[in-house]
Amino acid sequence: MDKIKEIKVCTTIDEIKEFLKNNVKSKFCLYLADKTDEQWAESTSRIYMNEIDDKIIYLPVNVKKNDYEMLLSIYKLCEQSPQIVCINHTHPHKSNVVLKKWLGVSAKQFNADVVFRNGNNFEPMDCNGPAFMNFYKYNIGEFKNKNVIILGVGGSGEVIARQIANENPKQLYLVDIVDKNWLVQELKDFVKVQFVHYLKDINLENKDIVLINCSGKEGNDSLYLDDFLKKFSNSDNIFVDIRVHMTQPVILAKSLNWKAFTGFGMNYVNGYTIFSKLCSYANVCPPSLDYFKNLVLKVTKI
């Protein structure tokens, strides 16, 4: 069986329809993102998610930020196309307003990166939160009595914050340019929590710090990440950048004696969760977690 090594990135509804037409026996997961050509070239999921069985196609679709007309057209196509069984949203489309309206969800507490088909409808599934907790607890440790800082509290950061709130941290800090006080109100009954716009606004002793970067490159550029890493250099402090690659902040943190980690562990667990569910739609036996991990490793620079 010939494997699909790298799927072309679609930019129009007609291109998606063409893939559906040419692969009528396959089940599809649409991967919605807003990336440059360079960023798409570095995207590894479009390779490893298409390596295992050609009955499953993980189709990358580029949608510009706030292109709500395109998002609505995609969701309508999904309703009409039983071949499409999943939509995976990444930055900046997670929990977008069109998705909430399409699913009939209005609460701020709603957060979904992945939606799966259930009959004629689609239902949200939080993959990032559980995947992060699985990775962190297995590879790093616990959050109990730690000062936990989440940099970037939209998308993955929001669901990770909810998970950590139940892990008895000493205090939880939410850092984002956009106001997140509504999330503080949601979490305050479970954890001591504070919202600030910038890392420089946090006053801490230099110990028991867990800093989680969920903001991507933006956190490094505009939220004082480098300065914070330098100020709180300590071998007992932990830094996690949830991006899968070895990033500049991880390299800097390691050089400053932080215990620093990429998000590779979270990434492959997340991918495996999605792929295993896709297998159930395509009547395909899923591979083992170790096999999937090694497949991801083959195409990932960590």
CATH number of 129-262: 3.40.50.720
Q: Which of the four CATH numbers 3.30.720.110, 3.40.50.10860, 1.25.40.10, 3.30.465.10 does domain 13-125+267-298 have? A: 3.40.50.10860
Q: What is the reported pLDDT for 2? A: 45
Residue 85 host element (H or E): strand 84-89
Q: What is the reported pLDDT for 43? A: 86
Residues of the chain with CATH 3.40.50.10860: 13-125+267-298
For the chain, the distance separating the N- and C-terminal CA atoms, rounded to the nearest angstrom, is 30
Rg (CA), the chain: 19
Lowest mean pLDDT among 77-81, 123-127, 265-269: 123-127
Average pLDDT over residues 186-193: 95
Average pLDDT over residues 212-231: 79
Q: What is the reported pLDDT for 1? A: 38
Mean confidence (pLDDT) of the chain:
90
Distance CA 298, CA 48 (A): 9
pLDDT over 90 at 224, yes or no: no
Lowest mean pLDDT among 15-24, 74-83, 88-97, 227-236: 88-97
Average pLDDT over residues 24-28: 96
Q: What is the reported pLDDT for 96? A: 85
Q: What is the reported pLDDT for 50? A: 94
pLDDT over 70 at 5, yes or no: no
Give the pLDDT confidence of 109-160 residue by residue, as tens digits. Answer: 566 789 999 999 999 888 888 999 999 999 999 999 999 999 999 778 988 9
Average pLDDT over residues 28-54: 92
Cβ atoms of residues 237 and 102 within 8 Å = no
- Largest Cα separation within the chain, whole Å, is 59
Strands 193-196, 171-175: pairing is: parallel
Distance CA 260, CA 272 (A): 24
Q: What is the reported pLDDT for 111? A: 67
Give the pLDDT confidence of 201-212 residue by residue, as tens digits. Answer: 999 988 899 999
pTM for the model stands at 0.81
Q: Which residue has the higher pLDDT, 41 or 108?
A: 41
DSSP class of residue 52 equals: S
One-character DSSP codes across 162-202: HHHTTS--SEEEEE-SS--HHHHHHHTTTS-EEEESSGGG-
Residues of the chain with CATH 3.40.50.720: 129-262
Distance CA 127, CA 206 (A): 32
Percent of the chain with pLDDT over 70: 93
Q: How far is CA 122 from CA 78, 161, 233, in A?
A: 9, 25, 45
